[in-house]
Structure 1
Amino acid sequence: MFSLKHKNAAVLAAVSVLVAACGGGGSDAGTPLVATSTNSSGNTSTNNTSNNASPSTPAKVDAPVIRTQPANAAVLTDATATFSVVATGTGLAYQWKKNGAVIAGATSASYQTPAATYTDNGAQYSVVVTNAGGSSISSAAQLTLKAGPNQQAFEQLILTPSAGSYQLHWNLNPTGAQTSGIHFVTSDFAVLAVSPLTNGPQTNAQSAAHNLTTTLALPTASSPTRVLRNGAVVVVGPTSKVSYLGGDVRVDTLAADGVTVAFSEIRSKYETVALTGTIASTPADFAHFHNAIYSNAGVLDAAATYATGASYIKFEQNNKVDRYNVFDCTTATAGVAVTPCRVNTTLADAMTAGIQSNSDGTTYRLADGAIRTVDGVSIWVAANARPTSATLSATVQYRIYFELNGNVYTGALIKDGTLLGNGSYVSNPSGATLVDRLTFLTYDIRMNKAAHDSIAAAMKI
């Protein structure tokens, strides 16, 4: 063993150098610290450090580059459209805009619109893509509403410059002569000035009745169509509001006030059919729909021909939203003052006692249905549909009784979605009953002016 004072002189020298370099234990904060050491071979090494060393330069981030622009989209009314963008870059963020205005929450590479309405036609959609290096904005993609085949057929007939959509109304004997004041054949038509596709719901009214005969008088006014709506009886007017639902046509028939929706229908399965040749060669669907006009040989000249361009459209209608028709229980009336079945009683009491329906051939009692409340009105609805012999229609209906102002009235319910019947024709003249003799139709028909004028020209009565 040995003491410190006997250490190698070289080691002591190195220690002295280090102490000297440190200035006796303190240093200027701005002076680099130099440490020198000597290894066993006598070589020295030096380590320089400084608190003023420059940090490394961060990597440059490039601004986003849009590789695929959003594409234009064409959709049906009430459908959605999806716009997408493809961009390259790191840390990308997205913000979609509609017509230059920010769309809240639309911050992904793609954007799905809400259900499109006529107000969205022509809207411009773009997206801003950003990151730490900057931003890029896409080109604008346009949303266009397109008409479906049903809507195209509808517009071809009713939209100006077309002369309009015509329909016939009649009450005729299927055979033999007709009696003025009882029997008649009339027509009316409707025209739309602009398309509901891009202009929204359009209101139009049927024209005044036109007499297609020279020997029969125009019919006298009959009891109006009435429905229970918003807790009251309303009379149906001649005005409708047309709008588009998906690829179909929605028709809201308005009450006499021209504002309240009395009932609604969805029209679909449109088919346009040409009318050519003679009256005798008329397509069966068209002839059957107009039954006695075509089946009674005394009404039309079978050898007459259809004018050039004559055609019709055939379509189906489904009820939209439950429809509560209102009938007079006894004496026929006009306006909203329908005749009640029971007075000064409640619906429950009246149905417990039972109410006889002569047209249905049934006495309805409380247990034959159920009471519901609609718009504050208590309505009893039969569990079983009315007989076809009572409705003379393919439309499925349910007898109703309802309480209003202390009285009980009657009517019929056509449920939401029900396929609506539109007339009948005599298919079996030897049938034992009227129902046996008839075939009930589930389609409707409108015709163009050329077809209408051809029938008017062929009229023999």
Structure 2
Amino acid sequence: MIAAKLSNVALLAAVAAMISACGGGGSSDTPESAAPAAPVIASQPVAATVLTDGTATFTVAASGTGLSYQWKKNGTEIPGATSASYTTPAASFSDSGAKYSVAVSNAGGSVDSSAAPLTLMLSANQQAFEELILAPNGRSYQLIWNLNFAGPQASGTNFAQSDFAVMAASPLTNGPQTSAQSAPQNLTSSLALGTPGATRVLKNGVILVVPSTATRSKSTYVGADVRIDTLAADNSTVAYSAIRSNYETVALTGAMSSTAPDFAHYHNSFFSNAAILNPAANWASGASYIKFTQTNLGDRYFAFDCQAATTGANVSPCVTGTTLGNALTTGISSTSDGTIYHLSDGSVSTVGGVQVWVANSPRPQSATLSATVSYRIYFELNGNVYTGQLVKDGSPLGGSFYVSNPGGLTVTDRLTFLPFHIRMNKAARDSLAGAMAI
């Protein structure tokens, strides 16, 4: 048994020696790893249409292993856009027509997708706005008037006039557009043109003047709405801003005597006083108006004359040579509000480097004659104390009013204040002008 085991050991050793003597060269039966196939795009990015400030998402579907992505805008790589989908920032007018594509890559190669365009579109509000004001055919008219509810009119006190604005190009793809109100046009043959007062606002520590005529404004689009920036007399500084929404275009047809209530109420005296319009007048073909609402954008601090009437930036003060705190500790009387305001009736803060006191309670509607909620203010500037009112950010801005209850005991009993605004087209304005009987 021992001898047999030794023989087996010897045999194994001999076999091992033979294998070693053959030399094998170390070859392997496993092939080299093959390079992956280049990506193949199965689904291309699709064109997108959005409102101003909207975002668009572009997506690609590709097959292959180890894929990487790089999105491009108009052929230029977008930093950090390295996923199968890309969502744009909020779109502005400068993005209109931009083309988005993606390069899909792996170790086997790279392939570019087709370019998908981004298109900006008008909202219904913006379309109505442009149909009225956009050149070459558009003109947005407003009426400016001081007419008696009944009885005769007095030249120099009463007046009726209109002006209009034209916008040269669409803000949708051309960016902010500045337009100016035209010179006023008299609607009457018996009354002189009126001279409405300028609007003054306290902003960034100074009083800005917005002219009463030839006012300039800048229009831009915000989402589905229209932003209007009203400019100061230098035609560049924004005095105040508003967002316009809820546009509605309404046709004017038939007899003026049966005009729709919204239009008739907004222009109250034109339709309440039988001596103003020819009772047989009709609206011309194509006459229409737009109705919209406005919301205040940013706090708006109006500056008013407290004593003598002025027209420029030097509004007349309520108290001279004193501080805001001292004046309000004594108390300042507001005849229009029917109130003596004291320091404890409001709070003081610094606005644009100016100390401003704001009343806790709104001004009475009998004083403002508007649906806009406003607050009495007093502010200290150059050693004097001035007055005005604050309309807070986000407040709805009221429009006109009409006499709904002539027998009412108070102003607010007699009047209904309207929350909307109206502009009309040229056919509507010309119809009114032709129907004037004064």
Where 1:155 maps in the other structure, the secondary structure is helix
In the TM superposition, what are the counterparts of 1:217-228 in structure 2 within 5 Å?
A: 217-219=192-194, 221-228=195-202
* CA distance in structure 2 between the partners assigned to 1:384 and 1:295 by the alignment: 34
Residue of structure 2 in register with 1:284 after alignment: 261
1:80 aligns with one of 34, 55, 64:
55
1:422 aligns with one of 394, 399, 409:
399
* CA distance in structure 2 between the partners assigned to 1:445 and 1:13 by the alignment: 113
* CA distance in structure 2 between the partners assigned to 1:148 and 1:17 by the alignment: 91
2:184 is aligned with 1:197: no
Residue of structure 2 in register with 1:187 after alignment: 162
CA shift for structure 1 position 59: 3.7
* CA distance in structure 2 between the partners assigned to 1:260 and 1:16 by the alignment: 104
CA shift in 2, pair 1:57/1:215, >3 Å? same
TM-score by length of 2: 0.96
CA shift for structure 1 position 53: 3.7
1:302 aligns with one of 279, 284, 307:
279
CA shift for structure 1 position 351: 1.6
2:316 is aligned with 1:361: no
2:203 aligns with one of 229, 242, 254:
229
Give structure 1 regions of 4+ aligned residues with deviation exceeding 6 angstroms.
none
Residue of structure 1 in register with 2:434 after alignment: 457
* CA distance in structure 1 between the partners assigned to 2:69 and 2:364 by the alignment: 62
Residue of structure 1 in register with 2:292 after alignment: 315
2:40 is aligned with 1:65: yes
Residue of structure 1 in register with 2:323 after alignment: 346
> Do 1:223 and 1:332's aligned partners in 2 also have CA atoms closer than 8 Å?
no
* CA distance in structure 2 between the partners assigned to 1:334 and 1:11 by the alignment: 123
Counterpart of 2:387 in structure 1: which amino acid?
T
TM-score by length of 1: 0.91
Counterpart of 2:208 in structure 1: which amino acid?
V
114-123 or 57-66, which moves further after superposition? Answer: 57-66
CA shift in 2, pair 1:14/1:315, >3 Å? closer
Where 1:33 maps in the other structure, the secondary structure is helix
In the TM superposition, what are the counterparts of 1:45-444 in structure 2 within 5 Å?
A: 49-53=24-28, 56-219=31-194, 221-237=195-211, 238-444=215-421
Q: Identity of counterpart residues, as a percentage? A: 60
Supply the RMSD in Å over aligned alpha carbons. Answer: 1.8
* CA distance in structure 1 between the partners assigned to 2:15 and 2:297 by the alignment: 103
Residues 239-289 of structure 1 deviation map (CA, whole Å, 9 limit, x = unaligned): 101111111111100000011100001111000000000111111100000
CA shift in 2, pair 1:265/1:54, >3 Å? same
Residues 323-370 of structure 1 deviation map (CA, whole Å, 9 limit, x = unaligned): 000001111112111111111211122222211111101111111111
Residue of structure 2 in register with 1:33 after alignment: 20
Residues 363-420 of structure 1 deviation map (CA, whole Å, 9 limit, x = unaligned): 1111111111111111111111000011011100000011111111110000011111
> Do 2:131 and 2:138's aligned partners in 1 also have CA atoms closer than 8 Å?
no
CA shift in 2, pair 1:329/1:55, >3 Å? same
* CA distance in structure 2 between the partners assigned to 1:397 and 1:180 by the alignment: 32
Where 2:97 maps in the other structure, the secondary structure is coil
* CA distance in structure 1 between the partners assigned to 2:210 and 2:343 by the alignment: 30
Where 1:135 maps in the other structure, the secondary structure is strand
**For the pair shown, which has the larger CA radius of gyration, 1 or 2?**
1
CA shift for structure 1 position 15: 4.2
CA shift for structure 1 position 431: 0.4
CA shift for structure 1 position 34: 4.4
> Do 2:201 and 2:207's aligned partners in 1 also have CA atoms closer than 8 Å?
yes
Counterpart of 1:264 in structure 2: which amino acid?
S
CA shift in 2, pair 1:54/1:159, >3 Å? same
CA shift in 2, pair 1:88/1:452, >3 Å? same
CA shift for structure 1 position 163: 3.9
CA shift in 2, pair 1:208/1:33, >3 Å? same
* CA distance in structure 2 between the partners assigned to 1:251 and 1:329 by the alignment: 29
Ranges in structure 2 where 5+ consecutive residues have no aligned partner: none
* CA distance in structure 2 between the partners assigned to 1:67 and 1:9 by the alignment: 70
